[in-house]
Amino acid sequence: MDDQRDWIALSAVEGVGPVLFRRLLEQFETPGRVLAASRAALVTVRGMTEPVVEALQSGGGQRFAEAELRRLDKLPDVRLLTFLDADYPRRLFEIGGPPPLLYLRGQLPVWDPALAVVGSRRATRNGLKAAEELSAAAANAGLLVVSGLARGIDTAAHRGALMGGGATVAVLGCGVDCPYPPENRELSERIAASGCLLSEFPLGTQPLADHFPRRNRIISGLSRGVLVVEAADKSGSLITARYALDQGRDVMAVPGPISIASCRGSNGLIKQGAVLVDSLGDILAALGLETTLAAAGQGHGPTAPLCPLTPREAQVYELLAQGPRQLDDITTALELTAAEVSAMVLGLELKGLLVQLPGSHYSIS
């Protein structure tokens, strides 16, 4: 409980975003030590400013954490995941600045392989049908369907995944205790029964406009690829697609009539090189999963337990998630000694999270 309180408190401090949170943890090892650190020690951390130091030492984060724990006590199906936990979705380490703390309501899913399905809130009947049918087929094939619980395509994607007998994850731009929009309340309960609602925002957070671009990076980050089903020009779905490209994910799109405004953005993605999708086979081929799922007998049960990470191991893992590197490169990038890096790499190898490649390169397994 004390550990959870400290994670919540540090996350609540204004000015402590994912990157600074990680730097603080790398230096002080635990959120509790950060909160107890002196001003002189805090200002040595890169990116730390006087206003953030003052916010850290004001006690506001701790007071918020006490109230948040009382709220959590009333929600037995909500749990917290920190980026050091074994159950934290490892793919989020690939996005740069992974959320330090996630609120999860429902059942812990098998995080991989996952497919994001997103699109227009004002979708056509054909678009809704395509999203629902493709999501049902993907879920039935063993993919975790990820979307944002918004009206339109997102809703159809979640419904389709449930119809296909699989799990689905709804990433929210608000707290997990106030799913939005209100007409999807019943759907959110069904999602939580087999999958989960996921958010980096504290309980009670309302769905503000600037929250949704932030949640979009998590939707794409959780997934191997993003499927866009109808998206107008300058839509939020195109933001998700851009995040996917930046994160090295596959981008796919369902073609639509050129006369429909809500298809212009998705058709534009195909022009720019996105994979054209009109069947489950196209999705599996794009993700390189045609034979993998069948060979593995992919199911929907709980994931095998992984090992938790230390702050320093998380630092190395996040770096290698961006691509293989040699030991010298890791040492330089993280500004650590060769002995420190060797110890962390060995620890990650023993946990089965890293593999050594030819040329003394290391990569995540």
Q: What pLDDT score was predicted for residue 292? A: 57
Overall domain count for the chain: 3
Across the chain, mean pLDDT equals: 89
Domain end marker among 46, 74, 102: 74
Check pLDDT > 60 for residue 68.
yes
Same-domain check for residues 160 and 290: yes
Q: What pLDDT score was predicted for residue 134? A: 96
- Name the more confident of 318 and 78: 78
The domain that contains 43 carries what CATH number? 1.10.150
The domain that contains 346 carries what CATH number? 1.10.10.10
Is 255 among the domain residues? yes
For the segment 178-212, what is each residue's pLDDT rounded down to a tens digit? 989 999 999 999 999 999 999 999 999 999 999 99
Check pLDDT > 90 for residue 221.
yes
Is 104 among the domain residues? no
Least confident of 117-126, 175-184, 285-294: 285-294
Same-domain check for residues 256 and 120: yes
Among residues of the chain, what percentage have pLDDT more than 70?
Answer: 94
Same-domain check for residues 119 and 198: yes
Same-domain check for residues 264 and 334: no
Mean pLDDT of the 296-325 span: 65
Check pLDDT > 90 for residue 350.
no
Q: What pLDDT score was predicted for residue 306? A: 58
Is 81 among the domain residues? no
- Name the more confident of 55 and 356: 55
Is 102 among the domain residues? no
Q: What pLDDT score was predicted for residue 293? A: 56
Domain end marker among 247, 266, 296: 296
Joined together, the tokens standing for residue 143 give 């993919």
Same-domain check for residues 58 and 185: no
Same-domain check for residues 172 and 259: yes
Is 106 among the domain residues? no
Pairing of strands 114-119, 275-276: unpaired
Check pLDDT > 50 for residue 299.
no
Same-domain check for residues 44 and 127: no
For the segment 11-42, what is each residue's pLDDT rounded down to a tens digit? 999 999 999 999 999 899 999 999 999 999 99
Check pLDDT > 80 for residue 304.
no
Distances (CA, A) of 351 to 26, 124, 313, 338: 20, 48, 11, 20
Distances (CA, A) of 346 to 307, 339, 340: 14, 11, 10
Mean pLDDT of the 71-89 span: 93
Q: What pLDDT score was predicted for residue 44? A: 93
- Alpha carbon dihedral 104, 110, 116, 120, in 10-degree steps, equals -50
Domain end marker among 16, 49, 74: 74
pTM of the predicted model as reported, rounded to 2 decimal places: 0.83
Is 9 among the domain residues? yes
* Cα separation, 262 vs 153, whole angstroms: 11
Domain with 335 in it = 311-364
Least confident of 91-95, 215-219, 321-325: 321-325
Same-domain check for residues 182 and 267: yes
Same-domain check for residues 213 and 158: yes
Same-domain check for residues 137 and 246: yes
Contact call for residues 115 and 242 (beta carbons, < 8 A): no
Q: What pLDDT score was predicted for residue 341? A: 80
* Cα separation, 74 vs 106, whole angstroms: 14
Is 232 among the domain residues? yes
The domain that contains 156 carries what CATH number? 3.40.50.450
pLDDT band at 310; cut points 50, 70, 90: confident
For the segment 222-266, what is each residue's pLDDT rounded down to a tens digit? 999 999 999 988 888 999 999 999 999 999 999 999 888 889 999
pLDDT band at 89; cut points 50, 70, 90: very high
For the segment 126-180, what is each residue's pLDDT rounded down to a tens digit? 999 999 999 999 999 999 999 999 999 999 999 999 999 999 999 999 999 998 9
Is 209 among the domain residues? yes
Tally Cβ neighbours within 10 Å of residue 359.
7
Same-domain check for residues 58 and 184: no
* Cα separation, 30 vs 21, whole angstroms: 10
Same-domain check for residues 69 and 188: no
